[in-house]
Amino acid sequence: MTQTTPAPAPSPIVTAHAQLAAAVRHLGYDEGTHQHLATPRRELHVAVPLRTDSGELRMFHGYRVQHNISRGPGKGGLRFHPDVDIEEVRALAMWMTWKCAVVDIPYGGAKGGVTIDPRGYSQAELERVTRRYTSEIMPLIGPGTDIMAPDMGTDEQTMAWVMDTYSVAQGHTIPAVVTGKPIALGGSLGRATATSAGVVHVTDSALREQGQSIEGRTVAVQGFGKVGSHAAQIFAARGARIVAVSDVDGGVRADGGLDMARLLEHVAATGTVVGFDGGDPITNADLLAVDVDVLVPAATENVLDETTAQAVQARLVVEGANGPTTPEADAIMAKNGITVVPDILANAGGVVVSYFEWVQAHQAYWWTAPEIAERLEHRMATAYVDVAEHASREGLSLREAALVIAVKRVAEAHKIRGLYP
């Protein structure tokens, strides 16, 4: 048998452009409008040199892309990952534009990235990288211009360093320049688990449409980071059975359900789900093919492609990650009758509570945890209904409907504002 080398994964920007083109076609927009929506508004590529703890000099690349700022300031995370490149950041920034528009919060879309593997560096080194990057992109960011948040490889401590670097440069404390901050610096209650809570809310909405509920459903979660681990815990607390989870190193499966409390102890002790004795080992690829009610890809881009999508047995896929599904995989899952709740809706809970955090910082008045939970649930439920109704009215998938709604909101903002000059 001849072995064929698998084709390299397409850049996420290819997926993002294909999705936009489909929405533009559906909306009947002209090519000029299409290109206006496709073209990033501003991009900055900066050098990020680091003096390591051992005295070596290492160079990284940093990016900040503002894809669109017609509905409000740029908004989006900062990613630390060795594979970050300008095309990935462009795609992620574009998805932020549509995400903010579909949940109707007054932001455009932006994203940042640094080509560093944070696992290989000390906290002191990561602090220096974060501060240098922040200083280099200073002309673009600000509480009314572009607001960062955590993403893959960054966390609330990273945001504290960004906020401090920016505030020191401006000469006074400006909490609203970032979201996802520590609570002690004006972070919002509920922000740390907001993306996961949103994933569970939309799953609930999608299951209800099928006459089901979360209780008793089987769930597999790919990615046991900020999004996946909390989603698994919230699902389990609501009576679902978590039958498989994975992280970059591998996964674990137990058809009778994983004991979440013991699994979390294992992860706290070892840093990975691998080796947990309450289940059998499973690969990341096999996890996608487990026969479950709900599959949550919460790791990274392009994991569901034309090969892996063929094997998906879940009835419902809820995208905790950004861009986990290629257009080819979308078509295969649609043909196989699988409902996909798209990333720009499914994982929008994080940016929704980021928006609440930013509003609270502007008011200098903090809301209670129940207030935040209730407002998040309301936003997610409203956005889900908007998308689901549009999808059934127009005969579209949930992804197509979400994109059409979002793209239309952004295009309308462009149209009403007009062109300058």
Q: Residue 357 CB, nearest distance to ligand GLU (Å)?
A: 8
Q: Residue 91 CB, nearest distance to ligand GLU (Å)?
A: 11
> CB neighbours (10 Å) of residue 348?
32
Q: Residue 101 CB, nearest distance to ligand GLU (Å)?
A: 13
Q: Residue 188 is encoded by which pair of tokens?
A: 């919002």
Q: Which is nearer to ligand GLU, 351 or 361 (CB)?
A: 351
Q: Which is nearer to ligand GLU, 83 or 389 (CB)?
A: 83
Q: Which residue is nearest to ligand GLU (CB)?
A: 77
Instruction: Name the nearest CA neighbour of 224 among 192, 247, 199.
Output: 247
Is residue 363 packed enough to be buried (19+ CB in 10 Å), middle (13-18) or exposed (0-12)?
Answer: exposed
Chain residues that interact with ligand GLU, rule: CB under 6 A: 75-77, 149, 151, 179, 322, 347, 350-351, 354
Q: Residue 106 CB, nearest distance to ligand GLU (Å)?
A: 13
- Pairing type for strands 57-68 and 42-51 reads antiparallel
- The order of strands in the sheet holding 42-51 is 42-51, 57-68, 109-114, 74-80, 146-150
Rounded distance between C-alpha atoms, residue 392 and residue 370, angstroms: 33
Q: Which is nearer to ligand GLU, 150 or 279 (CB)?
A: 150
> CB neighbours (10 Å) of residue 234?
18
Cα of first residue to Cα of last residue in the chain, in angstroms, is: 63
Q: Which is nearer to ligand GLU, 292 or 346 (CB)?
A: 346
Q: Which is nearer to ligand GLU, 77 or 186 (CB)?
A: 77
- The order of strands in the sheet holding 339-341 is 280-282, 250-253, 241-247, 218-222, 294-297, 316-318, 339-341
Rounded distance between C-alpha atoms, residue 59 and residue 160, angstroms: 23
Choosing from 75, 99, 111, 226, the catalytic residue is 111
Q: Residue 228 is encoded by which pair of tokens?
A: 């996946």
CB contact at 8 A, 187 and 156: yes
111 noted as active-site residue: yes
Q: Residue 328 CB, nearest distance to ligand GLU (Å)?
A: 23
The residues annotated with a catalytic role in the active site are 111
